[in-house]
Structure 1
Amino acid sequence: MMKVHIDEVTEGCRIAEDIMGLTTHPIVKKGTELEAIHIEALKAFHIQYVEVFSTLSDGSSVEAEPVREEEVEVRKEPESTPFKKQYMELIIYYNGVFNSWQSGGKIDIVALKSRLMPLLRQVAKDKSIIYQLHRWSEAKHYIAHHSVSTALISYLLAEKAGYDQGSCTQLAVAGMLTDTGMAKMPMSILKKSGALTQDEAREIRKHPLYSYQYVMDSPLLRNEMKAAILQHHERLDGSGYPKGSRGDEISKSSQVLALADVFHAMTSERLYRAKKSPFRSLEVIWEDEMGKFDIALLRALQEIIGGLATGTPVILSDGRTAEVIFTQPQHLLRPVVKSGEDMIDLTKERKLYIEQVIS
């Protein structure tokens, strides 16, 4: 074993001792072969040094200079960022249990919910977290990021739509479970970076049914939420799947999950395309997907994403930094901003949009 600085750790290193986080569960367990997501999580937790085995997973030697105990720096712990720490911890946990589902394991909804609840409490207090979710998502671990983020967005959307607290939490848990059925998909499909064939697309369209089968006997979810999981890819105009349901055949809860699902998917990096700005993604949904989603829910999501306060710093799609000066109620996604000496009305400069809100 050897102690190395986190900046010298590379993918393929194997952890020699459990690395603990904010909970009683390890961030990374002993024996784990590190991937980029693990290294990012360790840095998010401000882990400076880790114990690794002296050989990589392929048998080659670790090319890092071991650190002697007397050289270990004693530093004041940086300012805590509990949300991202717990978010990354849940991503790693979800990846682990997803692998077990692929091998036939059962879903432990209690364990998933217990890890989700601290995130729900924080996002309820600080809704600006929603602007960060797409930045953390990565194509390699898309299903985990998408599942957790869909849960958080579903919670905020349900809250904005007037659901009671219990229903908001139920919808968040349901949102995290919508893609459990992906565990039954062939790895050749999950890892494919190009367009799916017709047969592969038909196979993917079965995942809502598989997700429903995972949860249908659970007493922890209301029947309404189980049905919402089954219907989360249905569309009001009948263009969705698996049944091609339309209009009143689709429950309101299903529509909450559907909008949260497609919004996060559009903002996230995928194996076959780059991520989009939350502002631009929501505009595309309004422009290209009209008739597929509930208008009231679209307006609710627009109010969550748009309506930035005066003085909010942003980055525009052309790379310039700016600050919000004024937002018209009918154009929440396109405020008037100031960049340097330039006043820019985004309702008129249609080629520009807000790329990122600076926290």
Structure 2
Amino acid sequence: MASISISELKPGIKLVKDVHTPLGGLLMRKGTVLLPRDLDILRAFMIQHVEVDIGEAELRNVTKAISSANPANASDEKPADTAVLTKTAPFHEEYEKLISLMKSAHQSVIASELPIYELRNQLEAAILHIKDYNPLTFVPRSMNEYDYIFHNGVLCAFSSYLLAKWSGMQQKDWMQAAFAGLFHDIGNAKVDPAILYKPNALTAAEAEEMRRHTAYGYQILKNVRAVNEGVRLAALQHHEKIDGSGYPLRLDGGKIHIYAKMVAITDIFHAMTLNRIYRKAQSPYLVLEQIHSEAFGKLDPTLVRIFIQKATEFHNGTVVRLSNGQVGEIVFTDQNHPTRPMVSVGGEIINLVQKRQLYIEEVLSSN
């Protein structure tokens, strides 16, 4: 073991001690075999010395380390990740079946009742593949903008399921949280389609009618036996704010059900990252930043923190496209700034915390 200056480091040398940033954050773990990009990161953080095992710098280690480094630097083209597409195909198929069922459900509740058992069975079938779903990276294979309401509900189901799991709720709550996401906007089935699909600003009377979807949703779910009261309250309360400024009842945080607090977050996220009739999809990273700012007084801050940290929890090496069109890979994420990691582009380390004008537009592939 030896303490060696950064200027003397070579690729292939193994760290024998954790390396921390000047502010105390973990930068690299003990046992890391240094790659060329790692040397750039150490210099970017102005690390002066590291503890290394000189004996690990054999040629075979150097070759192995370099061959696994930076797959995106050779090209700015979007990678064709056929392995990812193949892996996630079953999830996409179950997702599309659930979309079709939700379309039928919106029609059936007008004349009769919600086909809850068919929906539950299909939701459970999709959740069997939940490991292939990430809120930041999943994109429907096809989506008519007029079908936004169905995609939003299904995506909120999966994201609310994960948020319930991530936040440490009991397993029996995970599926109910998914139901809360799936049915939070079911009341829109009783809103005049001319209002629901209007491409420009609503009048005051139309806006008031739109707000009634929360009460309509509660009424639709009132006699559905497969869901609990929290699911019904999520339909009623998902537009409430913890400072009491929401609707329909202007409840404060202590009176809003936990499922409704979760759905409030996932609904905003998917509403802004899906294409809509009057607005194009926004960068999921920018949306998370807006949700973070909204958390102060509006959304549950603990749930917001959990959602952002877990959704952005990608491994180093994740390939992303920046807002200026450049393609690179994430090389370090500071837990204090999870939406603004350090990205390696063509050998240059871009710190998105410092380059505020740039942001991640899209995640292209994750490892």
TM-score range, shorter chain: 0.7 to 0.9
Residue in structure 1 matching 2:123, options 92, 108, 116: 116
Residue in structure 1 matching 2:106, options 98, 104, 112: 98
Match of 2:149 in 1: 143
Amino acid at match of 2:248: P
TM-score by length of 2: 0.73
Match of 1:10 in 2: none
Report the Cα distance in structure 2 between the residues aligned to 1:332 and 1:212, rounded to whole angstroms.
Answer: 36
8 Å CA contact retained: 1:150, 1:172: yes
8 Å CA contact retained: 1:138, 1:268: no
Match of 2:194 in 1: 188
8 Å CA contact retained: 2:91, 2:132: no
Report the Cα distance in structure 2 between the residues aligned to 1:128 and 1:185, rounded to whole angstroms.
Answer: 31
Greater relative contact order (Cα 8 A, min sep 6): structure 1 or 2?
2
Amino acid at match of 1:110: Y
- Cα displacement (A) at 1:213: 0.6
Match of 1:19 in 2: none
Report the Cα distance in structure 1 between the residues aligned to 2:105 and 2:144, rounded to whole angstroms.
Answer: 18
Q: Deviations over 1:302-350 (max 9, x none)?
A: 1122232110111111221110011111111110001113210000111
In structure 2, list runs of 5 or more residues that go unmatched. 1-84
Match of 1:247 in 2: 253
Amino acid at match of 1:148: V
In structure 1, list runs of 5 or more residues that go unmatched. 1-77
8 Å CA contact retained: 1:279, 1:305: no
Query: Residue 329 of structure 1: SS of its match in structure 2?
Result: coil
Q: Deviations over 1:7-51 (max 9, x none)?
A: xxxxxxxxxxxxxxxxxxxxxxxxxxxxxxxxxxxxxxxxxxxxx
Report the Cα distance in structure 2 between the residues aligned to 1:325 and 1:136, rounded to whole angstroms.
Answer: 32
Report the Cα distance in structure 1 between the residues aligned to 2:301 and 2:140, rounded to whole angstroms.
Answer: 23
- Cα displacement (A) at 1:169: 0.5
- Cα displacement (A) at 1:291: 1.2
Q: Identity percentage over the alignment?
A: 37
- Cα displacement (A) at 1:136: 5.5
- Cα displacement (A) at 1:228: 2.2
Match of 1:48 in 2: none
1:38-187 matches, cutoff 5 A: 79=86, 81-102=89-110, 104-123=111-130, 125-128=131-134, 130-133=136-139, 137-187=143-193
Report the Cα distance in structure 2 between the residues aligned to 1:316 and 1:284, rounded to whole angstroms.
Answer: 18
- Structure 1 residues 162 and 79, CA, compared in 2 at 3 Å: closer, same or farther? closer
- Cα displacement (A) at 1:117: 1.0
Amino acid at match of 1:283: E
Report the Cα distance in structure 2 between the residues aligned to 1:355 and 1:136, rounded to whole angstroms.
Answer: 20
Match of 2:335 in 1: 329
- Cα displacement (A) at 1:355: 1.3
Paired residue total: 280
8 Å CA contact retained: 2:180, 2:260: no
Amino acid at match of 2:94: Q
- Structure having the higher Rg: 2
